[in-house]
Structure 1
């Protein structure tokens, strides 16, 4: 047993000596991950950090900011037509009601007008007088050529023809001004009024049996509501940021979940004295007529700002009390640079000082070479 114990102790001592000898033997020196040379951090070719560092260039970006304003749906004047009665008269038939949708050429009303009847009569008389004057002139010219009429008779016939033609042209022009795209001649002094365009009757001031004594007053208004305006009331101090052509996103409380896109068509030159707001009119397509005139809305404009230099948040490192980034000065060589930050833009940081556009910075793995 003693021999066995001595043998075991000897084996243990030999193993310790071998381990000591192994630890004392020189080994191959490992490649450093980084090399610092006068403030420049270099990553050697064999460094494992080369697979973990990500470098990218920084650039200027134009960042829009949202500006919201209360708004109201309005009819587009470019798609609104007032239907006028060309003459005074009585409405004997009214075929539409307020809110009805009509098609181009659809019958709206029938009017009985003594003025229209007089215009038709005058034109018929003028046509007959012109035909008589023409026949008289032809006869006088024939007699003159045969030597059987005086010159004064021919001159009188020619003058009568010229006057008859002028009266005919006047009465025809008068009749043409009455009969237009919206009014067609009828029988017995009646005129028919038809729709000049597709749309909805958004205003109606006529009634069957009523007498129209003001030809300049609209019988009704037809509005094509497939095209509407959303008029935003922009605060005075923000109005300079809204310009024609700017896109707008519109939401309406009465249509939850629906966003409507539009483009600013015009900005009013007049400031409302009471609200201190400026009207910005946004053209909106309304093919399904879901937007109703006078609906409340909120318009949000994406207003462009001055371009800013942005870097990912992952590029920022703390060094004492300063925020720094690692800037590439040559391939796989970096120098620390202090930057001044502006407002955050999501996962990007706005750089106010310390970097120039085109600089290449470490955006991932920078913490691995941070002191």
Structure 2
């Protein structure tokens, strides 16, 4: 039987490895655990309902970096700026409307053509014209001093018939000059431009059938235009009808157009807390075109606006929110409407907050996460 010899060096090495493993797994486990980094604990939060509102309750000191800021009043400059869009002055827009059932025989103008008042625009065929013209000619003949006895015997009655026949032709769209020139009934009548201006809408095509009430042409003028602009609700007291203003456009950045506030809307948009003003602006050379964007500057008295840091706001779904401290450790998740502010890092508050409110700043996103986490735990 052979003998096995053990190497004392190898035995010593093996003993050292076993001892090290035992030391790590057992004796030194506590010291290793105490040296490892411990993750910060999530602040204790809960939802509390007070006066019909949900409040987030937590200790602000448990959120490192969280600070409270106060909503403050800032002075507005003596200039009020608003963005708007150029439109036609609707007092200078006119339409040609078909007042009979018929067919378009001929057109003489196209979209964007300039026309003069009284110029022939389109020829419209309708038996209604012929009938009305025949009635007019008969009434005119009956009212003539040399008419035979009968209908013409009563001049007052004949005159009333003639006036009624003439008004019917006017109602159908004929001008006084065209009515006076009628010699015989004709089913085709030329419709004329009611004003001098530009054809801004053309729905008339040759051969097209039309019905009473169909709009055939729209004419507009660009001597004066309107700029419809939006201002915030809290700026309403700073504007008035007749106030002077200036406007600039991106198309003509070096041109300043002068005007006045002509109308102030009686309605306020509840979603944006804005209302519209209509500015009547001079347009030399027709440079300003409908649908152009413009910036309006109104010289007015200084005002005030509520201002908060932008990092006090969080955008959630489709609105801005702030966490308002209603009492120590109690925070309301409140919807806020804002507008741009000239100072970088700040926002102008349109609604939702008042002067002196204290709101969370610095760690608003983390507090918003706690809000959703609390909702998830309570649901």
Structure-2-length-normalised TM-score: 0.53
Structure label with greater radius of gyration: 1
> Cα deviation per residue 1:222-256 (whole Å; 9 max; x = unaligned)?
11111101111111121221111111121112222
Instruction: Look up the match of 2:171.
Output: 177
Displacement of 1:132 in angstroms is 10
CA contact (8 A) 2:114 2:198 kept: yes
Instruction: Look up the match of 2:281.
Output: 284
For the pair 1:67 / 2:80, whether they are aligned, the reply is yes
| 5+ long unaligned stretches in structure 1 | 1-62, 138-155, 307-371
Change in CA separation of 1:211 and 1:182 when aligned onto 2, cut-off 3 Å: farther
Q: Secondary structure of 1:135's partner?
A: coil
CA contact (8 A) 1:182 1:195 kept: no
Displacement of 1:175 in angstroms is 2.7
| 5+ long unaligned stretches in structure 2 | 1-75, 304-379
Equivalent residue for 2:293, pick from 280, 296, 304: 296
- The CA distance in 2 between the partners of 1:128 and 1:265, in whole Å, is 51
RMSD, aligned α-carbons: 3.0
Instruction: Look up the match of 2:100.
Output: 87
Instruction: Look up the match of 1:112.
Output: 125
CA contact (8 A) 2:143 2:152 kept: no
Displacement of 1:131 in angstroms is 6.0
- The CA distance in 1 between the partners of 2:79 and 2:176, in whole Å, is 46
Q: Secondary structure of 1:136's partner?
A: coil
Q: How do 1:260-275 and structure 2 match up within 5 A?
A: 260-275=257-272
> Cα deviation per residue 1:240-291 (whole Å; 9 max; x = unaligned)?
2111111112111222222212111111111123332111111111121111
Structure-1-length-normalised TM-score: 0.54
Change in CA separation of 1:106 and 1:244 when aligned onto 2, cut-off 3 Å: same
Aligned length: 224
Displacement of 1:179 in angstroms is 5.0
Instruction: Look up the match of 2:226.
Output: 229
Change in CA separation of 1:190 and 1:68 when aligned onto 2, cut-off 3 Å: same
For the pair 1:247 / 2:260, whether they are aligned, the reply is no
> Cα deviation per residue 1:317-358 (whole Å; 9 max; x = unaligned)?
xxxxxxxxxxxxxxxxxxxxxxxxxxxxxxxxxxxxxxxxxx
Change in CA separation of 1:176 and 1:71 when aligned onto 2, cut-off 3 Å: closer
Displacement of 1:167 in angstroms is 3.8
- The CA distance in 1 between the partners of 2:238 and 2:168, in whole Å, is 52
CA contact (8 A) 1:69 1:233 kept: yes
Displacement of 1:124 in angstroms is 2.5
Q: Secondary structure of 2:253's partner?
A: coil
Q: Secondary structure of 2:85's partner?
A: strand
- The CA distance in 2 between the partners of 1:248 and 1:276, in whole Å, is 22
Change in CA separation of 1:134 and 1:259 when aligned onto 2, cut-off 3 Å: closer
Change in CA separation of 1:210 and 1:243 when aligned onto 2, cut-off 3 Å: same
> Cα deviation per residue 1:179-198 (whole Å; 9 max; x = unaligned)?
54499457732211121222
Q: How do 1:62-211 and structure 2 match up within 5 A?
A: 65-129=78-142, 135-136=148-149, 166-178=160-172, 180-181=174-175, 184=178, 188-211=186-209
